[in-house]
Structure 1
Amino acid sequence: MSLHRRLSIASGAALLTFALAGCSGLGRTMVGTLNYETGREVVVRVTSPSVNGCHRLAPSGATRVENATLVDIQLYRTLDCKGKDPIYLATRTADEIVPGTLPWRSYSVIH
């Protein structure tokens, strides 16, 4: 086998390795815990949820959320991470709803 062919194969293998490493972010997590209290005063702890998609909270919703992860999130009062006026919750902070308002029902990661 020629030197040129071996270098081409080695270069192709290296490029494939880098390409696959770039796709490995598809399974990334938030690293840490997201803690929330439901409308029924039950504390829920979610460990390292995915950074992808919309995440639903408990059926009764959340009245207080503590973001002890390494990423920022947005909280929504709808089940599908849509709607007006989402609440921004930075990493290592907490927030709770104003009495008399709807609970949060979903969240998404800010990329």
Structure 2
Amino acid sequence: MNLIRIAQLALGAFVISVSFHARAQDGGAASATVEASKPAWKSSSKADDRALRRRVLTALGKAKGLRATGITVRATDGAVLLEGWVPEEAQIEQAARVTQGVPGVKSVRNALTLSTF
């Protein structure tokens, strides 16, 4: 019985180690392929995305009548995703309008929900 249990644990450990190794190699190869296929003029760096995200969050925080504490912002190549919640229905559309006015924003996808708690 103990021999079977030891064999099962050894096999499980082997499968896990192989999957980690395969995942690490696939991720690196895929990244290199994607980066190589992007034209230099179209690539956006993570720093650019973070800067855009900060500008959007700042604009949302300064907007009068908008409670932005429940809003999460994701930015990729000028496309902004608004997620989270706001306490009033009118603030959902207001958040999208404010975001669209931020320099560098190309598109806004609004996935905000209403939460009254």
Return the structure number with greater strand share: 1
Q: TM-score, normalised by structure 1?
A: 0.29
User: RCO higher in 1 or 2 (8 Å CA, sep ≥ 6)?
Assistant: 1
